[in-house]
Amino acid sequence: MIAGIDHFVLTVRSVEATCDFYRRVLGMRRLDQPNRPTALLFGSQKINLHEVGRTFEPKARTPTPGSGDFCLVSAVPLAEIQAGLAADGVAIEVGPVERIGARGPMMSVYFRDPDDNLVEVSEYLK
């Protein structure tokens, strides 16, 4: 019944810091529209950002910065992601390690964003 994910929401302390991080580290694009949450665009999906104290309705019952834990699929070899993380001074917490994703085996690295959300970036193994 479900075909995919369109977007998810992160509650953040600073929209500016979050947008800068995801643009610089993962190449996402920022989208600002009147009366809408700021969004980070990538592929055919997006992350909507709700800043603490400036959330949009409806929202999670207890929106909290740093409670996100999600996996993104890389459009480039994982080695390029690792090199970009190193160049930006972003510490890899775990990886590369083999995991099983929705489509099968993949290699993943884990790191934290400015709110300490756990971000996993993966490359599917051929």
Listed residue (56, 52, 54) closest to 7, CA to CA: 56
Per CATH, the number for 7-124 is 3.10.180.10
Under the banding of pLDDT at 50, 70 and 90, the label for residue 103 is very high
Gap between the Cα atoms of 38 and 51, Å rounded: 9
Q: Own/partner pairs for 89-95, CB < 8 Å, 24+ apart?
A: 90/25, 93/118
Percent of the chain scored above 70 by pLDDT? 99
Under the banding of pLDDT at 50, 70 and 90, the label for residue 98 is very high
Q: Is 123 a catalytic residue?
A: no
pLDDT at residue 58 tops 80: no
pLDDT of residue 12: 96
List, in sequence order, the alpha helices (H) in 1-126.
Answer: 15-26, 78-87
Spell out the domain ranges in the chain. Answer: 7-124
Question: By three-state DSSP, how is residue 92 classified?
Answer: coil
Catalytic entry in 51, 57, 98, 120: 120
